[in-house]
Amino acid sequence: MSERKELTYRDAGVDIDAQDRALARIGELVRSTAIPGVMSQPGSFGGMFSLPLEGWREPVLVASVDGVGTKIKVAAAAGRYNTVGRDLVNHCVNDIFVQGARPLFFLDYVAAERLRPEVVVALVEGIARGCREHGCALIGGETAEMPGVYLQGEYDLAGTIVGVVERDAMINGRHGPPGRRVEPGDVLLGLRSSGLHTNGYSLARKVFFETMGLGVNDRAQGLDGTVGDVLLAEHRSYFSLLEEPARSGWIRGMAHITGGGITDNLPRILPDGCRGRVVRGRWPVPAVFQVIAREGNVAESEMYRAFNMGIGMIVAARPELADRIDRHLASHEEPCYRMGEVVAGERGVEFS
């Protein structure tokens, strides 16, 4: 009787040694983001953070979790994994900042059919860079090899962020107290996006790679760069630009324009009886969206629901305070577009 082969985890598709090599470098990246309050070391079962209470009256924790969607497939096709980690952090920072919170710490999740150490390190390098830029600690995460769940060469990337805001400084445009919630007469200010950010990639990939038959290194008429360059443009963070106006109480509401576009995200900060009136043409729509609409024969209403259409953040403010925000952004050489106003009506968005 022949001797049966001794099976290892590697035979089942999971290379623990490869994971260990990646984790050694990841530990260095984690330590590079440490800030006061971090209590755990890389490799701990759970990340620990002590909220410094000195100087806080009624601190409220704000948490969010998100991913980069199928943008990771564009990164894989281009062989460029060093930007999507920063995309992830910036997206998550924006998601909690719209409620007034500044980031404290972050946890990441990287999964694949088979982990390549150099890819995992590149992903986490981007995450660590985004965290350092925001004074946010990367205190833990998870790397997982799951053959049979992911297809060969596929990766997934997600993260969780936790931030803090004073209770009386929270920005809650829809449910805030009278005088602080969004109301008719408020001005809607738009801040430019850098491109698709991290949403709409399933449709964008279909248009560029299937309908147009292009690759990541090809150029399309009207685009400033290759398809890969344009689609991998990094998701902007608006934290540093708007932190002072938020802290000064000039802002009644902020809408991060992510999945669902302006159509679905602006109503999230509107109370009942308030309607967003958005005037098309008051801001430049980047060429990438024009190419997608034209070459994919995508209806305008679908474009505004699938993509940010050049606006990554919308701020609602009283007219006199909108002027202050405008001047503040101008001092940072940041364009600000008066894209509409809040009017009385059924909660939602109307375009004109």
Tens-digit pLDDT profile for residues 117-176: 899 999 999 999 999 999 999 999 998 889 889 888 899 999 999 999 999 999 987 877
Is residue 4, in this structure, part of any structural domain at all? no
82-100 pLDDT per residue, tens: 999 999 999 999 999 999 9
Half-sphere exposure of 283 (CA within 13 A, CB side): 23
Same domain, 200 and 70: no
**Other C-beta atoms lying within 10 Å of the C-beta of residue 8:** 10
pLDDT of residue 45: 83
Q: What is the pLDDT confidence band of residue 12, given thresholds at 50, 70 and 90?
A: low
| pLDDT tens digits for range 240-279 | 999 999 999 999 999 999 999 999 999 999 999 999 999 9
**Which of these three, 110, 136, 169, is where a domain ends?**
169
Domain shared by 155 and 293, yes or no: no
Q: Is the pLDDT of residue 281 over 80?
A: yes
Radius of gyration, CA atoms only, the chain = 22
Question: Looking at residue 270, which CATH number applies to its domain?
Answer: 3.90.650.10
Do the domain assignments include residue 180? no
Please indicate, yes or no, whether residues 226 and 305 belong to a single structural domain of this protein: yes
CATH number, position 100: 3.30.1330.10
Q: Model pTM?
A: 0.92
Share of the chain above pLDDT 70, in %: 95
Determine the structural domain holding residue 124 and report its residue range.
10-169
Q: Domain check: are 226 and 252 in the same one?
A: yes
Same domain flag for 114 and 245: no
Q: What's the pLDDT tens digit per position in 294-322?
A: 999 999 999 999 999 999 999 999 999 99
